[in-house]
Amino acid sequence: MKNEINRHTVLAALSNHISVSNGVSAVDLVVEITWRSPRSAHCRKLRAEIEALRREGHHICGRPSSGYFIASNEDELNETCRFLVDRAMTTLTQVSKMKKASLPDIHGQLGLKI
């Protein structure tokens, strides 16, 4: 029986991928969940569900070099948070240059401790 990609199925599949050493690519995770060859729409849906799970507070980590996984410790979680902040700052820097405004004016002071 094939499963649909939703928060429940993504979280259930990721429970088999705890720690960076057990990371899984988006394509392989889609196959694990759906039991079918992935299309780009499947990977987009997976990313959207992972984002939603992160917004709920789940410690879902991932980066291109490691794949997705659930953090097994604070260091793994912090590494992913640094990666996400760096990616966000790259985007905010582009916006600030295009709008000819400083970063604090674009998004206010970021006081994250990671």
Query: What's the pLDDT tens digit per position in 67-90?
Result: 999 999 999 999 999 999 899 889
Please give the angle made by the CA atoms of 63, 113 and 65, to the nearest 5 degrees.
10
E strands within the chain?
60-63, 67-70
Is residue 109 pLDDT above 60, yes or no?
no
Query: Residue 18: beta bridge partners?
Result: 70
Global pTM value: 0.84
